[in-house]
Structure 1
Amino acid sequence: MEQEDTVVLYPAPGIGHIVSMVELAKLLQTHSYSIIILLSTGFLDHPSVDAYVHRISTSHPYISFHRLPHIAPTTTTTVSFAAKGFNFIKRNTPNVATTLAKISKSTSTTIKAFITDLFCFSVTETTSSMGIPVYYFFASGAAGLAIVSYFPKLHEETNVSFKDMVGVEVRVPGNAPLKAVNMPQPMLDRDDSAYWDMLYLGTHLGEASGVVVNTFPELEPLAVNAVAGGACFADAKEAPPVFYIGPLIAEPQLSDVTTESKQCLSWLDQQPSRSVVYLCFGSRGSFSVSQLREIANGLEKSGHSFLWVVKRPTQDEKTKQIHDTTTTTTTMDFDLSSVLPSGFIERTKDRGLVVSSWAPQVEVLSRGSVAAFVSHCGWNSVLEGVVAGVPMVAWPLYAEQHVNMHVMVGEMKVAVAVEQREEDGFVSGEEVEKRVREVMESEEIRERSLKLKEMALAAVGEFGSSKTALANLVQSWTTHV
């Protein structure tokens, strides 16, 4: 029996990480590899993941999914969300090792490479011992990779947690100066185990056979050059090969959009060209009721049409994300009219549409009526905005989103940033109104957004940088002994 060349992928939990890795799988499939994707179960599960996996399995027969046994996440309240995530991933390591061993022993399969999400680094020791080349996949951009690589040096320069360094700026090669308190969340607190996990990752990054990144050099030249020049690594000779193969974004989900989503797209199709501001803050981003009301006031006073995705509000002013994603958040969970200003929906019904929980974002951004995108700066959303050529308002909430915001505003020049209150990130209605007006009226940002869209399409085109990087990645497996 002829052996089948297989690549095994292991995404971090959460729909955003899974989607971008599946897009990578589709590209690898075009190089005649069969793909097995390992999925953990028990952390950041959501009904949408099952529906998504079913759709991909049906439409792409060479991509198969293997569910790892269920593991209950730790329930302790004394560690951060990121620490719980790392702990969950570590506890999955034996299951990953067992599964890889089983695939390796199959007489019909040869594993050419194992590509694991950067945050699943705890499995690399086990997989390396099997003689399988291990690559990291980084679902964010080059600026974020530069910070991860440089983190061991930052750690040596201070003995204070970044969260306590108010008024201090951190400087990382390839990045704009960043407030210490806005460092990526897992790096903020030395008393949290996630900090030490990130330090281990940064220290051992060079041990991977390579790093695959969801960006393209023309999008982030400063960070790409800093990483390539070795400036981000303690020893430039230990820097791993980096393959920039983005933008990887989800395909339009026209086959299974809900009735509410169809109504939302139909509403957009009835609006004038470039007239609508779209507001959405990712799969987990959310706000307190008081912040939602400020956004509503700002939108109403801006005078512009809007499509706004509102998630179940958080209870705490400082919390900007929903951690429990195990249930489908629907209008049954909260009453939209009760969390927005009295009469707001009625007063704005001729120019605004508020939907609860979710909208088909790729499809929304492709509509000609959408003129601007107010985003939490999650990397998938950034890339979706870039590929659609839509100007953005950057409103970072958590993770590495402040890093992304600086790239969007300072380097890409496709966004304006909201000014957030130092102590809790609160944004006033006046600020929302100001930034919405600014991005809607800026021809310069619009022209730059369209130019970046062309660059993104060129990168994945026949002779583009991403296409070439992917070919080089695949070539590295054929030469591996």
Structure 2
Amino acid sequence: MEITTKPHAAILSSPGMGHLIPVVQLGKRLVDYHGFLVTIFIVASNESSDQSQLLQLHTYKNSLEIVEFPAIDITNLVEPDAKFVTRLAVVMREAVPALRSAISTMKCPPSVLIVDLFGTEALCLAEEFKISKYVYVATNARFLSFSLHVPTLHELIKGEFVDQKEPLKIPGCKPVRPEDVVDPMLDRSNQQYCENLRICKQLPLGDGILLNTWQDLEAQALVSIQNVQVYPIGPVVRPVKPDGLKGEMLCWLDKQPTESVLYVSFGSGGTMSVKQITELAFGLEQSQQRFIWVIRNPVENHSDASFFSTGKEHDDDPPSKYLPDGFLTRTKELGFIVPNWAPQVEILSHRSVGGFMTHCGWNSAMESIVNGAPMIAWPLYAEQRMNATLLTEELGVAVRSEVLPTKAVVGRLEIEKMVRMIMEDKQGKGPRERVKELQYRAKNALCEGGSSYNALANAIKNCCNK
């Protein structure tokens, strides 16, 4: 990058598409609307080929650069069976020296350091370089309020959180059910519990927290957050690529009636057991609703841990190998099967798509709302159970199964019922009406003068005046 008088933001992102996508979109917003130079630092990862494709962008309008640090070997730093959060936290900790070196050699020194949720240990570098510092939490206010309260809950509650008989009280928010507690808090004896507790304690150490929500989406939860400056700047989502949909899928979608197709996808980590795939297949077929199903190879066991797998137990198996006999033939005109990956934003934005069965990752939830698609909540891991509760019980834009998909197999009859509830809601009296309203509000929040536009502008003003 050439030397310039433009403000410069250095952003540290955790590896993985779920973290990198909202960071890149934040960087683009800083470039497009606030005249920044942006350098995004990311640790190399073998987790997803999608990340490698995104990193190939390298620059954006000559003002956004992505710098990839070499992969970090943590074999000798964690146990072989270390949980996902432990591994990610250790990787980010080990990346701090590389970030320090990179910042110190920049021709255009940054005026602000922004780190994501797992990069809080790098906030100390802002003190060294005497620049502003922010934490970017790419999820909702309810999750943030809960996270800020975790150190207090750690002291107040004895024993495991999931064993509590009463919901956990969170200041200003609806209580969190024990079964909705985030995965890292399920076992106090596990290292990921300690890592999560450390992160929650470090969240308030920045000059503020950027949050992927908007003011009137979670007004009460935002008011409840005390002793830390929060800037609700969302929804931060990927834009639709003009050529993102093409070929056979586009031709099929173009032939379908408006809002008649259910999009089914559970994210890059959303794997299922063969039994659950079977029940989902029959549920979709029995509903007689059109669908696009992004299907990943199954795992052997139906458990929480399985959803951090990539399904490599059947890595070379085509969908016909594990789908019910005759399913592909019987649903040939009704559905469209896509192995492993599909252009999600482009699909959700298509006029024919009218619903989304989702794992409730916050990126996906925001993309669904922005495109006006009501949801079937199918939470799998991390904070997704909390997200599902927010989407169904507070925002009213989703329905969900009676049992958690991670605890039991959801049967075909219940799946059929949920699909019909979403796709046959044509009178605008339920989730469809509510999501259309939120779609409109989200657009207004992002416009110049809107609440989210102003929130990011205020954060920039405060960091540049420090």
TM-score interval w.r.t. the shorter chain? over 0.9
The residue aligned with 2:7 is 5
The residue aligned with 1:69 is 70
Return the offset for 1:415.
0.7
Residue 348 to residue 174, structure 1, CA distance change in 2 (3 Å): farther
Q: Partner letter of residue 341 of structure 2?
A: W
CA distance in 2, matches of 1:157, 1:31: 43
Return the offset for 1:204.
2.9
More moved, 216-225 vs 285-294: 216-225
Q: Partner letter of residue 415 of structure 1?
A: A
Return the offset for 1:404.
0.8
Return the offset for 1:77.
3.3
Residue 345 to residue 174, structure 1, CA distance change in 2 (3 Å): farther
The residue aligned with 1:467 is 453
| Secondary structure, aligned partner of 1:170 | coil
Match of 1:84 among 79, 82, 87: 87
The residue aligned with 1:303 is 288
Return the offset for 1:283.
1.5
CA distance in 1, matches of 2:395, 2:110: 38
Contact 1:114 1:133 in 2 (8 A): yes
The residue aligned with 2:278 is 293
Return the offset for 1:3.
4.5
Task: Tell me if 1:134 matches 2:138.
Answer: no
Aligned 1:55-66 pairs, distance under 5 A? 55=57, 57=59, 59-66=60-67
The residue aligned with 1:317 is 302
Return the offset for 1:45.
3.6
Task: Tell me if 1:437 matches 2:440.
Answer: no
How high is the TM-score relative to the length of structure 2? 0.93
Match of 1:360 among 335, 343, 346: 343
CA distance in 1, matches of 2:148, 2:385: 17
The residue aligned with 1:181 is 179
Residue 426 to residue 128, structure 1, CA distance change in 2 (3 Å): farther
Aligned 1:3-402 pairs, distance under 5 A? 3-29=5-31, 30-42=33-45, 45-55=47-57, 57=59, 59-74=60-75, 76-103=79-106, 106=107, 109-163=108-162, 165=163, 167-227=165-225, 230=226, 239-255=227-243, 262-319=247-304, 322-323=307-308, 333-402=316-385
Return the offset for 1:206.
2.1
Q: Deviations over 1:278-299 (max 9, x none)?
A: 1111121111111000101111
Contact 1:9 1:36 in 2 (8 A): yes
Q: Partner letter of residue 52 of structure 2?
A: D
Return the offset for 1:423.
7.4
CA distance in 2, matches of 1:18, 1:2: 26
CA distance in 2, matches of 1:392, 1:321: 23
The residue aligned with 1:234 is none
Return the offset for 1:305.
1.1
CA distance in 1, matches of 2:334, 2:74: 44
Contact 1:8 1:115 in 2 (8 A): yes
Q: Deviations over 1:382-417 (max 9, x none)?
A: 000100011111111111011111111122111111
Task: Tell me if 1:458 matches 2:444.
Answer: yes
Contact 1:285 1:320 in 2 (8 A): no
How high is the TM-score relative to the length of structure 1? 0.90
Return the offset for 1:172.
1.8
The residue aligned with 2:410 is 427
Contact 2:280 2:411 in 1 (8 A): yes
Residue 84 to residue 276, structure 1, CA distance change in 2 (3 Å): same
Contact 1:276 1:370 in 2 (8 A): yes
Residue 72 to residue 315, structure 1, CA distance change in 2 (3 Å): farther
Q: Deviations over 1:414-469 (max 9, x none)?
A: 11112225872421111111111111233222111111100000000122100110
CA distance in 2, matches of 1:211, 1:316: 38
| Secondary structure, aligned partner of 1:338 | helix
Aligned sequence identity (%): 32
Runs of 5+ unmatched residues, structure 2: none
Q: Deviations over 1:327-351 (max 9, x none)?
A: 9x8x972220111111011011111
Contact 2:295 2:337 in 1 (8 A): yes
Return the offset for 1:69.
2.4
Q: Partner letter of residue 417 of structure 2?
A: K
Q: Aligned-pair RMSD on alpha carbons? A: 2.2
Runs of 5+ unmatched residues, structure 1: 231-238
CA distance in 2, matches of 1:421, 1:138: 25
CA distance in 2, matches of 1:54, 1:251: 18
Q: Partner letter of residue 335 of structure 2?
A: G
Residue 102 to residue 373, structure 1, CA distance change in 2 (3 Å): same
Residue 72 to residue 305, structure 1, CA distance change in 2 (3 Å): same
Contact 1:37 1:66 in 2 (8 A): yes
Contact 1:372 1:440 in 2 (8 A): yes
| Secondary structure, aligned partner of 1:416 | strand
Return the offset for 1:320.
6.3
Contact 2:43 2:95 in 1 (8 A): yes
Contact 1:4 1:110 in 2 (8 A): no
CA distance in 2, matches of 1:87, 1:424: 29
CA distance in 2, matches of 1:215, 1:194: 26
Contact 2:112 2:126 in 1 (8 A): no
Contact 2:379 2:404 in 1 (8 A): no
Q: Deviations over 1:11-70 (max 9, x none)?
A: 11111211111111111113221111101014x54222122222362x432101111122
Runs of 4 or more off by more than 4 Å in structure 1? 1-4, 254-257
Q: Partner letter of residue 207 of structure 1?
A: L
